[in-house]
């Protein structure tokens, strides 16, 4: 070696991860190094440019930024950057500039990848530096998405325009014209807190058209008679994604923004659209305008396109699951509206339940239908059941036409067993918790994730509270649920390599739902039941589990990242299949993933494996009998 190369060799050898390299590999890296000098303030790499080198700081200081411009890291002698772009997509993901006059070693992409692929200790160190690679990947995804970071108040451009509920429709129209707005917040006096008006409703241009002009009412009609009461609102400090979900869930186009119980302003659909280019709001609107099952089925390509756009635009798993659930929920609600229009009013009140992934807001594009019916305790099977069976059949057949396949296990409201009065559901759930059997535990894993989508939805909330109350502290039931959660293990072999299917249609593939997201949601559910959490979504449950401090430090965040990454791999493969014109499923072939994705997926499965070991330790399922 020349003197300059000896100096580089000695420097690299004294810093991780180069100190783990064999002598020959370190010599190879040293021979390939290009030395460059950057002045203070000089840009080293720009976001999106081709990734050609791995950068090691010899002297000076470098600042690395997120794509949003916020500082991500500050590096000094021995620090390195640029590995993420080399390992994935081949584009710079984190721009960097010299904070001080700096000397930088540049290692070519081909040399770095060779070191990474052929030296496990080197690769492992690069992967876990700055906590874990999964945490880095998930953090970058979160920080890059304005829907998850920007708050609702950033969309408010003017103060809310209000009007008293005794005002006339004419006065409302004049006020809207004067102020140049398309909606008014209708308020009333607050007898408890003078000076703090109560929000009574919202009046929009559409309300004036459909509730005043179309029926031919006089212009002096009080606004209270034509406004929309029971207003859906958002808090000023909620993120924009939550506002989008509120619009999706309730099919509304205006949301009052509240701060300290006062209306701060109103955000409209158009305010969200510039952030939400995936058109899920438009898809939901089209669903509610469909006049029959044929028109709903015709929207399937739009639903699929919405899904593929979200994946392509790097939306998070939580966002995709929530948006696709809102679409599926809207389909179910519209089918119920159409069914009631055809069958007539229900003989007794009822609540149509979503179960499983729809209840958890975790649906992707490949899903079946799990649902059930709660009927009023006055339900008489002889008099009433024919109507409810016809309703369930109408909805189930419609869902199947829209891509939500029939449940092979028969967990559908068309099954006589799953159309029951509220008191029967209460008794069933109590029995499942207090006297668990193998069959009832399987049911609990499905039915304990329930949400009301139509009718008396408060009954579903009542059952969830009852489940949380009875399960918390019931060590025998929790041990039984833990034992069930351990039945499906991650697909890792003795040497932490992937275990794939050896026969059948998906040879050399992994069912990533059955061996990945499924076991994770199962064990998260056990922890949630243990702390009495009322949350449904697995990510929301994990936040409450972390706050309850029942896991070792850092384990909850690891599980959060693992669920996010495994779900995104599953979503991306499904989106790729759709784009290729194939029928998507839950099979993933590891060999078709990039090296980066394989290693990250292995890490996520290792987190799942460790989480299952802790579940076994905490709840001791072997002692459940």
- Strand, coil or helix: what is 340? helix
Residue 120 has pLDDT above 90, yes or no: no
Sheet holding 254-259, edge to edge: 234-235, 254-259, 262-268
Could you tell me if 288 and 429 lie in one domain? yes
How many domains does the chain divide into?
4
Q: What is the pLDDT of residues 141-173, one digit of tens each?
A: 554 455 555 678 888 888 889 999 889 999 999
Dist CA 584 CA 554 (whole Å): 34
In a domain, 623, yes or no: no
Could you tell me if 605 and 555 lie in one domain? yes
In a domain, 624, yes or no: no
Dist CA 372 CA 556 (whole Å): 32
Top-confidence range, 89-93, 245-249, 364-368, 590-594: 364-368
In a domain, 147, yes or no: no
Dist CA 186 CA 178 (whole Å): 16
Q: What is the pLDDT of residues 505-524, one digit of tens each?
A: 566 788 999 999 999 999 99
Could you tell me if 256 and 324 lie in one domain? no
Query: Residue 128: its pLDDT value, please?
Result: 53
In a domain, 146, yes or no: no
Q: What is the pLDDT of residues 416-430, one digit of tens each?
A: 999 999 999 999 999
Could you tell me if 434 and 308 lie in one domain? yes
The Cα angle at residue 154 between residues 153 and 157, in degrees rounded to 5: 90
- Please identify, among 249, 275, 301, the residue that sits at the C-terminal boundary of a domain: 275
- Please identify, among 442, 471, 500, the residue that sits at the C-terminal boundary of a domain: 471
In a domain, 462, yes or no: yes
In a domain, 109, yes or no: yes
Could you tell me if 124 and 265 lie in one domain? no
Q: What is the pLDDT of residues 259-301, one digit of tens each?
A: 878 888 888 877 776 655 445 767 887 888 899 999 999 999 9
Domain CATH number, residue 536: 1.20.120
- Strand, coil or helix: what is 267? strand
Could you tell me if 9 and 73 lie in one domain? yes
Could you tell me if 326 and 394 lie in one domain? yes
Mean pLDDT of 559-576: 92
Query: Looking at 183-187, 315-319, 566-570, 614-618, which range is the least confident one?
Result: 315-319
Query: Residue 242: its pLDDT value, please?
Result: 75
Could you tell me if 131 and 170 lie in one domain? no
In a domain, 494, yes or no: yes
Dist CA 346 CA 6 (whole Å): 85
Task: Give the domain extent around 247.
Answer: 152-275
Domain CATH number, residue 175: 3.10.580.10
Dist CA 155 CA 153 (whole Å): 5
Could you tell me if 116 and 73 lie in one domain? yes
DSSP state of 61: -
In a domain, 476, yes or no: no
Residue whose C-alpha is closest to residue 51's, from 18, 16, 93, 12? 93
What are the tokens at 185? 């917040």
- The whole-angstrom distance between residue 319's C-alpha and the CA centroid of its chain comes to 4
Could you tell me if 491 and 587 lie in one domain? yes
- Please identify, among 73, 105, 139, the residue that sits at the C-terminal boundary of a domain: 139
Choose between 272 and 468: higher pLDDT.
Answer: 468
Query: Residue 131: its pLDDT value, please?
Result: 39
Question: How many residues in the chain?
Answer: 625
Could you tell me if 288 and 385 lie in one domain? yes
Could you tell me if 439 and 491 lie in one domain? no
């Amino acid at each position: 070696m020349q003197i300059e190369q000896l100096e580089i060799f000695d420097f690299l050898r004294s810093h991780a991860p180069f100190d783990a390299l064999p002598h020959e590999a370190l010599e190879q890296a040293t021979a390939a190094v290009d030395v460059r000098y950057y002045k203070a303030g000089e840009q080293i790499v720009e976001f999106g440019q081709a990734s050609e080198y791995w950068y090691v700081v010899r002297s000076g200081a470098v600042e690395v930024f997120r794509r949003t411009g916020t500082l991500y890291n500050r590096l000094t002698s021995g620090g390195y950057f640029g590995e993420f772009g080399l390992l994935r997509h081949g584009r710079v993901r984190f721009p960097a500039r010299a904070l001080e006059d700096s000397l930088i070693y540049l290692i070519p992409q081909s040399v770095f990848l060779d070191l990474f692929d052929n030296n496990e200790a080197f690769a492992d160190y690069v992967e876990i530096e700055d906590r874990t690679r999964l945490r880095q990947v998930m953090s970058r995804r979160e920080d890059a998405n304005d829907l998850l970071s920007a708050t609702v108040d950033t969309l408010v451009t003017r103060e809310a325009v209000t009007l008293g509920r005794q005002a006339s429709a004419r006065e409302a129209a004049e006020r809207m014209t004067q102020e140049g707005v398309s909606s008014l917040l209708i308020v009333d006096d607050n007898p408890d807190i003078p000076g703090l008006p109560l929000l009574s409703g919202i009046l929009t241009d559409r309300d004036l058209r459909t509730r005043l002009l179309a029926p031919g009412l006089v212009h002096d009609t009080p606004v209270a008679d034509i406004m929309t009461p029971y207003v859906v609102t958002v808090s000023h400090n909620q993120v924009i994604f939550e506002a989008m979900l509120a619009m999706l869930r309730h099919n509304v186009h205006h949301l009052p923004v509240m701060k300290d119980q006062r209306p701060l302003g109103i955000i409209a659909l158009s305010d969200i659209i510039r952030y939400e280019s995936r058109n899920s709001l438009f898809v939901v609107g089209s669903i509610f305008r469909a006049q029959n099952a044929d028109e709903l089925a015709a929207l399937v390509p739009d639903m699929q396109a919405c899904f593929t756009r979200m994946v392509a635009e790097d939306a998070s798993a939580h966002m995709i699951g929530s948006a696709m659930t809102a679409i599926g929920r809207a389909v179910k609600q519209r089918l119920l509206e159409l069914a009631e229009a055809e069958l007539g009013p229900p003989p007794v009140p009822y609540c149509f339940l979503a179960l499983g992934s729809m209840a958890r807001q975790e649906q992707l594009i490949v899903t079946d239908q799990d649902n059930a019916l709660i009927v009023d305790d006055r339900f008489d099977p002889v008099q009433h059941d024919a109507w409810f069976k016809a309703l369930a059949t109408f909805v189930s057949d419609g869902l199947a036409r829209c891509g939500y396949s029939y449940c092979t296990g028969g967990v559908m409201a068309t099954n006589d067993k799953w159309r029951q009065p509220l008191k029967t559901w209460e008794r069933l759930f109590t029995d499942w918790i207090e006297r668990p059997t193998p069959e009832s535990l399987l049911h609990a894993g499905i039915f304990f994730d329930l949400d009301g989508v139509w009718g008396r939805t408060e009954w579903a909330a009542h059952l969830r509270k009852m489940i949380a109350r009875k399960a918390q502290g019931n060590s025998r039931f929790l041990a039984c649920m833990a034992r069930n959660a351990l039945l499906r293990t991650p697909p890792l072999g003795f040497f932490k390599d992937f275990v794939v299917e050896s026969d059948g249609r998906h040879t050399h593939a992994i069912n990533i739902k059955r061996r990945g997201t499924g076991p994770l949601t199962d064990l998260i559910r056990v922890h949630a039941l243990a702390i009495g959490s009322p949350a449904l979504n697995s990510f929301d449950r994990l936040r409450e589990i972390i706050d309850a401090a029942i896991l070792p430090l850092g384990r909850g965040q690891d599980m959060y990242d693992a669920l996010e990454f495994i779900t995104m791999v599953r979503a991306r493969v499904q989106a790729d299949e759709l784009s290729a014109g194939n029928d998507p499923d839950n099979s993933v072939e590891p060999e078709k993933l990039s090296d980066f994705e394989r290693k990250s997926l292995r890490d996520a499965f290792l987190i799942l494996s460790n989480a299952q070991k802790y579940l076994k330790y905490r709840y001791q399922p072997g002692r459940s009998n």
